[in-house]
Structure 1
Amino acid sequence: MRIPSSPEDRIPARAGVGLKAEHYRTIIDTMPDVGFFEVHAENYMGAGGPPHRYLSAIRERYPLSLHGVGLSIGADRPLDEDHIERLRHLRRRYTPGLFSEHLAWSSHDAGFLNDLLPVPYTAETLKRVVEHIDRVQTALGCEMLLENPSTYVAFADSTYAETDFIAEVARRTGCGLLLDVNNVFVASTNQQWNPVAYIEGYPLASVKEIHLAGNDRQADEAGRPLLIDSHDRPVEDAVWYLYELAVRLVGPVPTLIEWDAEVPPWPTLAGEAERAERIMLASRRETPRHAVAC
């Protein structure tokens, strides 16, 4: 099912940052030069209060992207229609230029799990994910971007490679894709994939947004590297390298710096966004191999 992308206030092909309460006053008082702000939808599903007052003030000045973490797109159960209705209300209220969610599940018969868990890449999962995305796009009346996961193990019963699975979801639903480059690096390190080959094999023509974040480097019981998608530190050099590759292939697209824990002072976060802007600026001098309509 083909759904047009959100028309209200398209996100520019610039760098943005995740909006955090620690930076509300700085943003309102200084009006920093960033392309957009992104918020987790579930943090703003209440009716009012200070978070909405600040978000409304910031939305008057900047484009906004909405990132969901609670739809449980991959769950083996029906979507929560109340949650979809709250998302629909939030989208009407703030008219974000982009809306995205994760290829993951977190809901269960016993309740909601505070984590984004992976799915097996099988025909059965594909059918379920396609049905769920169709439902969301129909209910919200806009395109949804699907984010590739950070994973730590693979399912033995998977019959699709991850990139092929995501490509087929995009083909069947018409959804866009959010390429999380840090997730590519985390999953490739943990599962001994080639991250360059992953990006080159990704359905890049459907990419409408990119995420960048920091990760926590640990080791497993055998002493092999184990990366955790922690969002609590600067983007590391290997991820910046993969981002440069992605932008050369796709062209400049809205790029978000995710920093959700151990949130730094505003200048640190702004510096990460500036680095992404410099990479996009350099890429504009080249002809991307994949054209993307934003």
Structure 2
Amino acid sequence: MELGLVHQLFGAARSAAGERLYEVRTCAPTGPGLIRTDADFPVGAQHGPEALAWADTVLIPASHEEDESLTPGGLPAPLACALDAAAPESLTRLASICTGAFVLAAAGLLDGRRATTHWLSTDLFARTFPSVTVDPDVLYVDEGRILTSAGEAAGVDLCLHMIRADHGAAVAADVARRTVVPPHREGGQAQYIQRPVPMGVSTSTSETRAWAEERLATPLTLSELAARASMSVRTFSRRFREETGLTPMQWLTRRRVDRARELLESTDHTVDRVATEAGFGTAASLRQHFVARVGVAPGVYRSTFRGGRG
């Protein structure tokens, strides 16, 4: 799954003219050749480690048994040599899915950085690599040039996040539609919910989140959201954070920023109008939240994604 989703998502990314935005190649340190899997079929890697020197982005899927046996500096020689092409001083972007984070950590590439992996493996990861700050409660972590994600399906969220960073929200949303997956889940969303859900009783905040998404331009209060979910404010806030990793207002602000990004990419609306339609009210408020979340002003963001960036 971790290997296939990379091809499915990056392979589906298209420009407005319908051109492919990525070329995806599968390689193995011992490739080309057949690679054993834990299913009843092998994977045929058509390329060897030389492909890493060509790549702008390298994604490492999971190999649970082998990954979790790794220690600092303990990469097998073929794999260590292959990753030399993506050394820290290079511009290659590195990302891992699930326990692929063990490979990056064993290579020393996560030292002093924040990272995540599958929640079942985070305790082992933290003990094995104490120089890495492990966050067990998120879907993915973006440290700039190096990214890590949680187990399996969180790789979908990571790939869409990377596509969004490269080519904007509209392209990422199109990829999500093509592959019939949710277009956006926050990296900080909880990996799983420990609280059991009683059968026949709706205790999730998902319906309220969907309702709020359709009303981002409208002022929404915490009390209104809780009432929509038929919960007290305290219960709603607690369950909301369990499910998303964010407070309701943090989540609402992030979704409004995402809406502003879409409008900046796909329309010629003034910044004032974008601010209104995204629910920020004023251009000043939009700029404040946009810079805090995205790192650049709305005008700079628009010129980047409307200016033919490849």
> Normalising by the residue count of structure 1, what TM-score does the alignment of the two structures yield?
0.32
Question: Which has the larger Rg?
Answer: 2
> Normalising by the residue count of structure 2, what TM-score does the alignment of the two structures yield?
0.31
Q: Which has the higher contact order (CA 8 A, sep 6+)?
A: 1
Higher strand share: 1
Higher helix share: 2
